[in-house]
Structure 1
Amino acid sequence: MQPLRGTKDILPSDVTVWQYIYQTTLEILSLCSYQEIRTPIIESNSLFQRSIGNATDIVNKEMYTFMDQGERRIALRPEGTASIARSFISNKLYQDSKVKRLWYFGPMFRYERPQNGRQRQFHQLGIECIGSIDPIADTEVIRLANKILHKLGCSSYKIEINSIGNTEERFTYKQALIEYLLKYEKDLDKESRKRLEINPFRILDSKNKKTQEILNDAPRLNDYLNTESLNHFDAVCENLNYLNIEYSINNKLVRGLDYYNYTAFEMKSKELGSQDTICGGGRYDKLIKQLGGPDTPAVGWAIGIERLLLVIQNTVKTNKKINQTYIATQGSNAKQRVWDIIHLLEKEKISFELDLSNSKLIKQIKKAYKSEAKICLILGDKETANENITLKWLNENHQETISIANLIQKLRDVL
């Protein structure tokens, strides 16, 4: 049996890095009043249709959907923001009128062609700042993404930002963009020709050189923004400048989800090839109202963990977990009495590995050496009869037998 295509096992040797990412994030975000939230991986299919947009590739091509036994159309979540917005509404988190700072870490699902750093079950770390329209909220989330990536040892990326205005401004720009591109329809790549009717903004992301040449003279969204949108974006840029966070303005950056407005941003690494976005996000002020909640502004981002791992795999140094003690037993009485020893170790929080091999004592001790533990605790019939235990120092190759009553104090002294 093999794992399904586009899925991967996260083995114990890998989990330490995942735990490091989680703990680092928890430490940074807790200082800034962000609280972790965990939402179901299954949601109503309509949630993502209404939030992400029917014209997006995610909804049209990539979502895993099925009918459950209650004849409900269910989807595996393809991203985190829509679920957070749904939770904000269904749990009435808006009742106290306070800004909600939330973060999440978990699996997402999209039916895409598996590539390095892009799986069908993938994982995202994300934050959502809900309840503030102030540009300083945009700055806060960008600053935190930048801080987390740096703390994790990821520094080879660039930040690109853009203002994509509001719904009305984008609609006007969309018409102008379509009108321009129709003149070059035959010269566009195949995928862009399809998107011309369905989602022309996605053409701006095309990697095709010919299409990008055509886009060089295309209308720019910035020219269609009103004073309010421009002022908001200018304030975000001024804050980033004050923080000395380097960024560049990319007028073609629009993001692939329908719910964004005003600020959009991405953090891209040259080490990832064409799939170079490690972190992406932006402001989504109308999504919560669109889903039936109160009119509530919000801004957030998500980091792709698999892509992040590709960038930091050679820089993150995590300590290999080595148990402090190894327990070897011989004889039926010792195998029963060993539980008393284990209770003592657990109470003192001394890590251990109990040999379960049923091998002779000499083979158990050989395994103790291989385990890299500091001390081997040996409990045989002789020790049991005398209420003793033998401690063998594996690095120094000497041993002593002491009373079980003195074991913990001895271990306190040497560990």
Structure 2
Amino acid sequence: MKRSRCVLLLAAFLLLAVQGRAQQGATSDAANGIAFFKGTFGEALAKAKQENKPLFVDFYAVWCVPCKKMAKTVFTQEEVGKYFNEHFISLQLDAEKGENVEIARNYKVAAYPTVAFIAPDGKALSVNTGAMDKDELMEAAKIVAGERVSFEELYNKYKADNSDLDVQQQLLLKAPSFLQAQEGMEADKWVTRLQKLYKNYIAAKAPLKLINENDYKIILTLEGDEDKEHKQYVIDLINDHLDDWTKAVGKAPSYYIVEANDLFAEDLAKDGNAKYKEYVEKVKNQYAKAYGVVGLKGITPYEKSRLYFDALYNLYKNKDVDGYVKAMQIYFGKMEGNLRSADYGKAAQNLYMAAGKSLKSKDHEVAIQWAEKALAQEDAVMDRVNYMVMIGDSYRELKNYAKAREFYNQAFAETLRLENMEMPQAMLQGAIKQKLSTLELLEK
């Protein structure tokens, strides 16, 4: 059974942690760039109907660094402005403000930046998540405007000749933005089709014809975690020709191997499955060259992996909290100089996840120490809130309600720094208020 890797407060942490840090507004102000409509989404859509043009919407968040970069470096370019001003009604929406929250949800906006092309009747034509450069944005716009081959047209070409790998590559590169614009059964149909196409494409080009930037991008966006057997196949394809991959795209493929192998080992260790050791052994054998990019000081990647995953397995399999704490103290000592705040936070989190209510007072004291070390080194608001709540939870279990209240209140105060993130701020504050209410009942 696969467990959540980052819990304790809200699932919102997972989404927000990968999206960016605090930033000021994302608007384009260059005279030669895109002339964004000043008004609501409904008003912009009405204008799009009146002029019979698609609507281009930049869904941004005020704290999103990539949003800010696109607004300043892409939307302001003369070529982009000329084309968009002629072919689209353009609008920028703060997706976390007022009625825009529901509009963003309707178009399945889950991360920022997301840019969408919308028909005058409101139907999504193309939804693209992630920062785009000028060429990528222009390509997406020209497909919508009918000046480039559409996804459906490409698919028809593929059906007519399913041996044309160039057409398949174009299809798979466009697949993420196309899929995001689909809904319901139509989306399910296309997912099934494209999963099959993707696997056949990988098999047809493996191993050497895959070694290029476009195919690496396809692997990153379409190779999920659900089919672990296929992911292992892809990892080994890359690893077997790692030098060639490195020449083509740099160190990224090595990090891809490391992350995937660590994830396999972690899932097995948390499931109490001793097969995790097979993945640990790969660190010093099969994947040694890939792990060499990590650049640890004073400890080898193999020793690091063995110490950490052995401790994790013992905790989840045997509920041996004492053994886990001792093993992690050794791990922290060996990893000195390589540690991040998240390492301490994750160690404390695993105590809660694996042992929960069975933790003893001394275990909560250790969890507090680790979480406080994580807190002392962390600047990101969401992570700080998470660590403060973890500490508060441990003090609550220690029946030190005054300290628990102190940290819950600190966590609440920290959320006030999220003033431009109305929805996640409200969710976090609601969860903390509930903990404070529970504390009041315990104090009576």
TM-score (norm 1): 0.21
From the two aligned structures, give the one with the greater strand fraction: 1
TM-score (norm 2): 0.20
Query: Which structure exhibits the higher relative contact order, with contacts defined as CA atoms closer than 8 Å and separated by 6 or more residues?
Result: 1
From the two aligned structures, give the one with the greater helix fraction: 2
